[in-house]
Chains A and B, each alone.
Chain A
Amino acid sequence: MARETVIGIDLGTTNSVVATVQSDQPVVIKNRLGQNLTPSVVAVAKSGKQLVGQIAKRQAVTNPDGTIYAAKRLIGRKFSSERVQQLLKTLSYSVSCGEHDDIRVQLGGKMTSLPEISAAVLRELKLDAEAYFGQPVSKAVITVPAYFNDGQRQATKDAGAIAGLEVLRIINEPTAAALAYGFGKNVSGKVAIFDLGGGTFDISVLEINKGVFDVAAVGGDTLLGGEDFDNRVIEALVFGFAKEHGIDLRKDRMALQRLKDAAEKAKIELSTVNETQVNLPFICTPPGGGSALHLQRSLTREKLEELTEDLCERTISICEQILAEAKVRPDELKEVILVGGMTRMPRIMAKVKKYFRREPCKGVHPEEVVALGAAVQANALTHEESRVLLLDVTPQSLGVAIAGGYARALIPKNTTVPTSTTEIFTTSKDCQTTVKIMVLQGESEIARENELLGEFVLSGLRDALRGEVEIEVTFDINSEGIVSASAKDKETGMQQSITVTASGGLTREELNQILEDQGDQLLDQPEQEELAERRRDLRDVMREVRGLLPKIQAAMDGSDFGIEALKRGEQGITEGEKVLKSKSISAIVSSTDQLTRTVNLFKGWLQKISPPDS
């Protein structure tokens, strides 16, 4: 019996990768363009066509409000959160608040949820995998950053469901990277994962013990990545051009798109060569007219390093801070794994080596390592013989809001589930007869800086001075990750409780609706294809009639003979143009048939009047 095909997906902020395990070796599945990386970009072009991946990325600057990028930064977050409000300032597309304080983005004239956007990317990867295997793929392991809370994880799961994938497990990116190196089997101890991707920087320390991957420390900067390096190159090119020609290329979207592509290419090249050329012919036309200008410049590795030195240094400062907070010394680490394309930059590698005082792990491509680890885990979950023990842990601390606007953690992050804990609290005011239990998730001591998972009220407490009434609060997380919180008046035994399931922003009803709508779309699909095919037929026959009309005209030689047929041909083309804009297959077929008859008539006529040898 054939083995079930399963995939591992690194759903990244800027790029995504899909991988699988074949003959016990994890391998990356190339997309249908033959590339390992698929940009996590979704767009709707002016024509209304949905674009995903490379093609969407290539029109991102010229179609800024119709292109959604970095959806991962927003997925599963609350619109009203400070973080989101800050992020909004950096986005070129329109974002609004959904009914449940979730985030919606405007795409192709429709308000779309973030899970739907991520689903478009996942669907593309699923199709790539299906093209690779030649059979349907329905099961996947998807990776997320270690700091993602339950809501963000649930939203990612929802995205998988919308894409038609059964998400076997959501695993942490650093864990996946360590799995790709087989560290679960042969390494015990602390391992650092230095992940500098296209849009984010994460540093994690994993404590690996007998196949258990515990996130000992995690931190980073969600607004530091390869794009910042590209922007420095762009600035240098723009500045040089402005100095030479007095024109700011950033004001022209077409020029900016080309600069962006060229800057990224130059940056990548400078990881392997010392000098590269940036050639952008006809980059702009001067405002007063005249010949278009070219941008031609050479860029050295030294110059790139000079332009980005502070960014490189920032990654190391963050490492210092996170390791210090976790009380981990660099020399305690057993290994350092590099993740993300930016870690190919020699300057970054040198800085990492210097700070961690060791050579980072090599052997697995940094862009692919997370997806390969996800594939290893997917394989382990579906094939008994290769099972790697990977325990679920709570990604963030769970607690309650207490007086003064503070948060008190009851279950710290990285606690293995299932788990349960109880703590005693008291009333905070005199004569307080009710208490509100607000269930929070996050690491901040300030209550409002954490995610509110749910709340309930315990009432009927006796009149007493503050601190006299004791309330027992119990948190319980079962193996499915479902959190139950209860509060009991110790004196009366009166109890209230709440069950919290993570929400990715979409309600169950909304998710079901999307899945249902999608079902309709799937049913529509063959019709869409047929529509495209019929339109092609009509265009072909219109082209043929257009080609014949001048011949007929010439053959008429100024006479009225055949003028009606000629008119019919012209009318048929006008009608055909109208019909092409409609979605009516029957109208298109009818127009095609009519024009086909005209073609036959014209051809027959031309044959009759032409001399036999012509």
Chain B
Amino acid sequence: MTAHRARKLVEAGVWLRISGDHEGARRLFEQALLLDPTNVRARQLLEAPASAPLPQQPIGRTPPEGTPAAARNPFVRGESPSRSIGLDVDWGLAAILPESQSALRAPKQEDPLPESESAWDQRSTTAPDVGALDVHPGTAPALDLVSTDPQPQPTLLPTDPLEARETEVQSLLQAAQDLIGLDDQSGAMELILRAQRIAPDRPEIRQLREQTEAKLLGMLESKLGGLDAMPRVLLKQDEIIWLNLDHRAGFVLAQIDGTLTLEDLFAVSGMSRLDTARILTELKEQGVISVG
């Protein structure tokens, strides 16, 4: 049972790594190894460096000499080079957006598994295929790891599709609970949203999502500080264009003009409070804005 649970955690971890949350993935691999120290895949994934290629430059330009470090490469986390502020994790919208627009899936034109509900369903039932799994050429080390797994461990999946969905939902929820236990609310949120897309009408998922959202919002707001504070942009216009932002983060940034408080920004953003808080927190953490 613990071995089975460990395998589920590894699958959830792989999925988190695909969606860019390497820290959350690492925690799940560690948890899996605690449950089943013989799980080779968990060990391999854990030991493999979550190294990243160089960040993509916006619209193919090279930053000029003298551009500050924060402006050159401001939003590239060590573990997630292609991640930009705004779009890639759309907590507020993911549940209502059509699958094609969801930020939690690979770009459409590169999607290797168009029919699958879950990216790892097919990986776990078929032999890994390097070409098919390389959804982010050059930017998805986690997938390379999957593809080079010498002996993928078969997962005992039910043949009934309904049962398979249920199993997947349960796996996701368990992994989410594990991450909540490890205080990784954002990792948990991604898994909950994934589960909610598979089973949108389940009240317990909705409840878990609301709870996690509330916690996450509380955490983000506490990172931002007093909501009556007035944020200010720290970079110059010609530095800003070299940031790695999406249009939603760009919109929020454009609203910061020294006259609006954080609370005002929540009101004018047109996005959910959680999305806005996340964008503002990332802008603050990356030194693009100061608050207070």
Q: Give chain A's interface residues, CB within 8 Å of chain B.
A: 33, 45-47, 49, 51, 54-55, 58-59, 62-63, 252-255, 257-258, 261, 279-285, 288-289, 291-294, 539, 542-543, 546, 549-550, 573-574, 577, 580
Measured between beta carbons, the chain A residues less than 8 angstroms from B218 are 539, 542-543, 546, 577
**B264: CB under 8 A from chain A?**
yes
- B219: nearest residue on chain A (CB-CB)? A546
Please judge, given known A-B contacts A546-B219, A546-B222, whether A284 and B267 are in contact too, CB under 8 Å: no
**B290: CB under 8 A from chain A?**
no
Q: Are A288 and B108 within 8 A (Cβ)?
A: yes
Please judge, given known A-B contacts A285-B87, A292-B245, A543-B218, whether A55 and B267 are in contact too, CB under 8 Å: yes
Measured between beta carbons, the chain A residues less than 8 angstroms from B237 are 279, 281
Q: Are A58 and B255 within 8 A (Cβ)?
A: yes
What are 16 inter-chain pairs, A to B, with CB distance below 8 A? A45-B266, A46-B267, A46-B272, A47-B267, A59-B268, A59-B269, A253-B270, A281-B237, A281-B243, A282-B245, A283-B250, A288-B108, A292-B58, A539-B218, A549-B183, A550-B183
- A45: nearest residue on chain B (CB-CB)? B267
Least Cβ–Cβ distance between B269 and chain A, in angstroms:
7
A-B contact count (CB 8 A): 106
Knowing that A282-B247, A546-B222 touch, tell me 12 more A-B residue pairs with CB under 8 angstroms.
A45-B266, A46-B267, A55-B268, A59-B269, A253-B270, A279-B237, A282-B246, A285-B247, A292-B250, A294-B59, A543-B222, A549-B183
- A258: nearest residue on chain B (CB-CB)? B254
- Report the bound CA distance from A292 to B75 in whole Å: 14
The residue from B211, B247, B253 contacting A574, defined by CB atoms under 8 A apart: B211
Main secondary structure of the interface of B (DSSP, over half): helix
**B35: CB under 8 A from chain A?**
no
Q: Are B251 and A257 within 8 A (Cβ)?
A: yes
Measured between beta carbons, the chain A residues less than 8 angstroms from B113 are none
Measured between beta carbons, the chain A residues less than 8 angstroms from B222 are 539, 543, 546
- Report the bound CA distance from A245 to B11 in whole Å: 39
- B109: nearest residue on chain A (CB-CB)? A288
**B52: CB under 8 A from chain A?**
no
- A262: nearest residue on chain B (CB-CB)? B254
Q: Give chain B's interface residues, CB within 8 Å of chain A.
A: 56-60, 84, 87, 107-109, 183, 211, 214-215, 218-219, 221-222, 237, 240-241, 243-251, 253-255, 259-260, 264, 266-270, 272-273
Least Cβ–Cβ distance between B170 and chain A, in angstroms:
22
Q: Are B240 and A281 within 8 A (Cβ)?
A: yes
- Report the bound CA distance from A585 to B150 in whole Å: 60
Least Cβ–Cβ distance between A555 and chain B, in angstroms:
16
- A50: nearest residue on chain B (CB-CB)? B267
Q: Are A255 and B247 within 8 A (Cβ)?
A: yes
Q: Are B270 and A291 within 8 A (Cβ)?
A: no
Main secondary structure of the interface of A (DSSP, over half): mixed
Q: Are B215 and A577 within 8 A (Cβ)?
A: yes
Measured between beta carbons, the chain A residues less than 8 angstroms from B59 are 291, 293-294
Least Cβ–Cβ distance between B197 and chain A, in angstroms:
19
Least Cβ–Cβ distance between A562 and chain B, in angstroms:
17
- Report the bound CA distance from A574 to B266 in whole Å: 23
- Report the bound CA distance from A283 to B245 in whole Å: 10
Least Cβ–Cβ distance between B180 and chain A, in angstroms:
10
Chain B CB within 10 Å, residue with most, of A281, A294, A580: A281
Measured between beta carbons, the chain A residues less than 8 angstroms from B87 are 285
- Report the bound CA distance from A255 to B249 in whole Å: 12
Q: Are A54 and B259 within 8 A (Cβ)?
A: yes
Measured between beta carbons, the chain A residues less than 8 angstroms from B246 are 282, 285, 292
Least Cβ–Cβ distance between B203 and chain A, in angstroms:
16
- Report the bound CA distance from A285 to B211 in whole Å: 31
4 closest cross-chain pairs (CB), A and B:
A282-B250, A62-B270, A45-B267, A59-B268
The residue from A49, A289, A550, A573 contacting B107, defined by CB atoms under 8 A apart: A289
Chain B CB within 10 Å, residue with most, of A33, A252, A254, A543: A254
The residue from B56, B57, B251, B264 contacting A258, defined by CB atoms under 8 A apart: B251
Least Cβ–Cβ distance between B137 and chain A, in angstroms:
13
Q: Are B219 and A283 within 8 A (Cβ)?
A: no
- B272: nearest residue on chain A (CB-CB)? A46
